[in-house]
Amino acid sequence: MTCPTCGEPLDEGASKCPKCSPVLKVGSDHLGIKVNPVGTIVATPPDHPGGTRVDYRPPSGGRSLSQADAAGTFTADLSKGLVSGTKNEHYVVGNLGVALQAKGHTVRLVGGARDDRGEDQFITIDGEQFVVQVVTMPAEDRVWRTLNTQGTFTEAGDRDSAVEWMRAAMLKKQNAKGTIVVLDALHFTAVVGPALVEAYLAVHRKPVDEFGFKDAWIVGSTASFSFRIV
């Protein structure tokens, strides 16, 4: 017996496919840094053949619901109460840390970063400390201005649109040489996946080569939606 959506073999008597079934996550602290709980996230896996849907409801209020099909065509609906920018940095870098830990690295977030020195966060990876700079994606004022004034924001696009968002965010940090640059796609998580990274690199150079970054990642609302841009 196989799953009709992805073809994954199912155990005898199983009623749900473990690969396709949405995952409910309840947020908590990350890597030794005290942060607020992240609320609830119900998500299907990135780049799922049947499409990806991510329903994120943070404790701050509001909701981001993003959906993408296998070809990368997406919609996103945001409601007032969501936060962006500096308020998300601990959580986004925490997801990066969890993703690195899953690859076998020893990771810890470290305090003491200063914005006036271009430091959003410090992170140690296998005992070596790095500066992290976080940039919201999309890096467009219209998103957050509309959300704050009208209470909702809706967007639709395709994978090329998401690549343009990545590019604009990257250019905002083009002088952050030697740092780990993280694109914060927290509220548009369904667009994030290996296919988006591949689409970006099909038209642009690797960020570490083009801009001299130490590393570059795109990070969504969970560590499973966190990918190196290489």
Compute the 3-state secondary structure of the chain and give helix, strand, coil in percent, each to the nearest 5: 30, 30, 40
Contact (CB, 8 A) for 107 and 31: yes
Q: Is the pLDDT of residue 177 over 60?
A: yes
> Percent of the chain, pLDDT > 90?
66
For the chain, the structural domain boundaries read: 23-225
pLDDT-wise least confident of 36-40, 85-89, 179-183, 220-224: 36-40
| CA atoms of 159 and 196, how far apart (whole Å) | 7
Q: What is the mean pLDDT of the chain?
A: 86
